[in-house]
Amino acid sequence: MKLSKVLAIALAVGSAGAQSASVTVQADPSALFGGVDMSAENFYGAGPIKPWEPNARPGWYYGQFPWLWPWLPWLHGPICGVLPWFPWLIQCPKPWVPPKPPQWPWIPHPPGPWWPWPGHPTPKPPTPPSDGYYQTFKNFTGATQAGDYLTFGLVDTIADCKSMCNTVKECNFANSYNDVNGKDGSKKLTCSLYSKCHSSKDATNTGGQTQPDGSINYIRNSDGWCKNGQKPINP
């Protein structure tokens, strides 16, 4: 989408909001993404074809290299200031920032070697802060395929995929993987989101779809990430 169009919509929305809190914004939300429906009804831009079906295309890109996929909606930049006015559309993620780890007690002078003695074992280092997810499978050769599928897109990192799951309110599970020869030849991670938690038993999409160039796709580096407190429906 052209930057000028995004800025024009942002100015119109901002002007309406400044005039009155009760003003209804008269703007076509599909214009934000070149006519693509980015609501849940269209799998947040990835519909109607699901990622395990032939000719599936990602609905969005969240990362630092938008020029590599100019045809995909980029969830970054000026558009992020406009999307909150349309809460039923996909939103820009807020990257997870870990809290500061616990600090060791202050010691007024450099300590000597620590020699544990009975009743005083060597203290354990602080536990790293959790990002809110635990892993259900790792480095699998199949991607999740299930009826509670929500959307899929491309990301740079696993952390980006988790941030996308945090953004989609129904999401409780993120599956990051490399779709080799698939997704228009993208080398980026595919990020599929689901409303329920899944184990490797549901990672049944191993590829095998013929691509436009005649190649056959396959799955590798597939990782499952479930939100804390959720349990796999098929353990």
Write the pLDDT tens digit of every residue in 29-87: 777 888 899 999 999 999 999 999 988 899 999 999 999 989 999 999 999 999 999 99
Q: Is the pLDDT of residue 15 over 50?
A: no
Asked if residue 146 belongs to a domain, the reply is yes
- Within 8 A by CB and 6+ apart from 182, the residues are 56, 190, 207, 209, 211, 217
The mean pLDDT of 123-141, rounded to a whole number, is 87
Collapsing DSSP to helix, strand or coil, 2 comes out as coil
Residues 165 and 171 sit within 8 Å (Cβ to Cβ) = yes
The count of structural domains within the chain is 1
Q: Is it the case that residue 201 has pLDDT exceeding 90?
A: yes
Range of the domain at 56: 33-91+132-227
pLDDT value for 128: 74
Alpha-carbon distance of 222 to 199, in angstroms, equals 11
Residue 23 has pLDDT above 50, yes or no: no
Categorise residue 181: left if φ over 0, alpha if ψ from -120 to 50, beta otherwise.
Answer: left
Model pLDDT for residues 112-128, shown as the tens digit of each residue: 555 666 666 776 777 77
